[in-house]
Amino acid sequence: MPIPFIIGAAVLAAGAYGAKKGYDGYQKHSEADEIVRSAQNRYDRKKTEFDEQERDTQTALANLGKLELSIGKSFGDFKTLADSLLDKLRQDGRKDLTIHVPRQTLQRVENYSYSAIGVLGSAVGAGAAGAAAGFAVYGGVMALGAASTGTAISSLAGVAATNATLAAIGGGSLATGGLGIAGGTAILGAAVAAPVLAIAGWAYDSHGEEALKNARRADREVDSATAKLDKAGKMLGDVEDYSRRIKRTLTSIFGHFNQYFDNLKNINTFVEDLKGRNVDIEAELAKHGDDIIHAIENGYALAALLTDLITTPIFKVQEKNGEVVRDADGVPQMEKDADGSMILNDAGLDGAISKARDEADQYAAA
């Protein structure tokens, strides 16, 4: 065969081989791109689901926190009115008047009330919802303890009280400039860290085989990330469910509490209306003495049940010798799982909800 024809055949063969390699490379790039698109879409769908659950959980916690703070404020108003009516009864001759409410119960209710009023006084404007959510998460272990400064949370001024209650959720809601629940590592740890998805760049900057290898690596990372999102989303869903259950229970018991509170308000209004009239106020007040005592004792009993449920932590706290473990700044430490996420206190919450409902029944009739 003449040399030119041999060379020509070799060139054709080389060209065919180059075309085949080029086509193979294109195919592998295309396969890598498809893996990338599929992985990205899968992650985006799961992240969208998670974001929706996070918003729902944040809303549920904020609503629960608002109710808990409102209840705490009502305790303070109840105490003020109860003390006033008791003083009037004592001044009107019942010097030996005794209220059968354990001092420890009164102190627990008062401490919670001070804590709630302290947070309400510092959480204003756009940050109020974030503070309420933080209080729902952290109030159980912060309300009766100390904030990061070592000062009772009820005495903190300005934003300090708000910041103390938000410590567990990454600095507040997204809407108020914070990081949201997932932004902090306190609740979810590293469970929702995004996978490395710079896959398109890998694909086009690499040869076909390398692009395919990188795409498959990213696909595995997305599998891992979506599994973590599933776990984190379920946990947030459970937190939302418990937040709503606690809120329903508190609302019901708070309704009973308000019946007794309203009784005291009505008696007080009646007595105040008698002033200036030609009426024996002392005699009229004495007629309501037993009703006043009954309302105060039962009101405090219900307040204690509400306080016990509110201060049951949503997440498990670390304990040593029956005491909550705190860091150097006095912040309670939470138990964590292998991923660094807080652990839901489901058994404790179930018990507290059941106990509150059962014991509240005996005070249902005002």
pLDDT at 125 (0 to 100): 61
Predicted TM-score (pTM) above 0.85: no
Cross-strand pairs, 317: 334
Query: How many Å apart are CA 248 and CA 108, to the nearest integer?
Result: 22
Angle between helices 159-166 and 103-122 (to 10 degrees): 110
Query: How many Å apart are CA 300 and CA 350, to the nearest integer?
Result: 23
Whether 74 is covered by a domain: the verdict is: yes
Whether 181 is covered by a domain: the verdict is: yes
pLDDT of 28 strictly over 80: no
pLDDT at 301 (0 to 100): 94
- Segment 117-123 shows an average pLDDT of 72
Angle between helices 103-122 and 3-91 (to 10 degrees): 130
- Segment 115-119 shows an average pLDDT of 77
Query: How many Å apart are CA 294 and CA 55, to the nearest integer?
Result: 43
Cross-strand pairs, 332: 326
Domain membership of residue 261 as a residue range: 25-363
Whether 297 is covered by a domain: the verdict is: yes
pLDDT of 221 strictly over 80: yes
pLDDT of 147 strictly over 90: no
Which range has highest mean pLDDT (27-41, 104-118, 289-303)? 289-303
DSSP string, 144-167: TSB-TTSSBGGG--THHHHHHHHG
Q: Per residue in 43-52, pLDDT tens?
A: 889 888 988 8
pLDDT of 219 strictly over 50: yes
Q: Are 160 and 149 contacting, i.e. CB atoms less than 8 angstroms apart? A: yes
Q: Report the range of poorest mean pLDDT among 71-75, 174-178, 310-314.
A: 174-178
Query: How many Å apart are CA 309 and CA 355, to the nearest integer?
Result: 9
Whether 18 is covered by a domain: the verdict is: no
- State residue 173 phi and psi, 5-degree precision: -70, 160
Determine how many CB atoms are found less than 10 A away from the CB of residue 270: 12
pLDDT of 208 strictly over 90: no
- Segment 217-224 shows an average pLDDT of 85
**pLDDT over 70 for what percent of the chain?**
68
Query: How many Å apart are CA 326 and CA 149, to the nearest integer?
Result: 12
| Nearest CA-CA partner of 309 in 238, 251, 261, 240 | 251
Whether 282 is covered by a domain: the verdict is: yes
Q: Per residue in 65-95, pLDDT tens?
A: 899 989 999 999 999 999 998 888 887 666 5
pLDDT of 182 strictly over 50: no
pLDDT at 322 (0 to 100): 79
Q: Residue 194, class by beta-carbon neighbours within 10 Å (0-12 exposed, 13-18 middle, 19+ buried)? A: exposed
Whether 273 is covered by a domain: the verdict is: yes
276 phi-psi bin (left φ>0, alpha ψ -120 to 50, beta other):
left
Contacts 24+ apart (CB under 8 A), 255-258: 256/302, 256/360, 256/363, 256/364, 256/366, 257/74, 257/78, 257/299, 257/302, 257/303, 257/306, 258/74
185: confidence class by pLDDT, cuts 50, 70, 90: very low
| Nearest CA-CA partner of 115 in 65, 154, 72 | 154
pLDDT at 302 (0 to 100): 96
- Segment 121-138 shows an average pLDDT of 70
Query: How many Å apart are CA 114 and CA 307, to the nearest integer?
Result: 12
Please give the residue that has the higher pLDDT: either 299 or 333: 299
Whether 230 is covered by a domain: the verdict is: yes
Please give the residue that has the higher pLDDT: either 21 or 136: 136
Task: Give the total number of structural domains in the chain.
Answer: 1
Whether 19 is covered by a domain: the verdict is: no
Q: Residue 328, class by beta-carbon neighbours within 10 Å (0-12 exposed, 13-18 middle, 19+ buried)? A: exposed
pLDDT at 357 (0 to 100): 95
Instruction: Round the CA-based radius of gyration of the chain to a whole number and report it.
Output: 32
Q: Residue 282, class by beta-carbon neighbours within 10 Å (0-12 exposed, 13-18 middle, 19+ buried)? A: middle
Which range has highest mean pLDDT (199-213, 288-302, 352-366)? 288-302
Q: E-strand spans in the chain?
A: 319-320, 323-324
Q: Report the range of poorest mean pLDDT among 52-56, 83-87, 131-135, 211-215.
A: 131-135
189: confidence class by pLDDT, cuts 50, 70, 90: low
Q: Which residues contact 255 (CB under 8 A, 6 or more apart)?
A: none
Q: Per residue in 236-266, pLDDT tens?
A: 899 999 999 999 999 999 999 999 999 999 9
pLDDT at 303 (0 to 100): 96
Q: What is the mean pLDDT of the chain?
A: 75
- Segment 92-115 shows an average pLDDT of 78
Question: What is the residue type of 86?
Answer: L
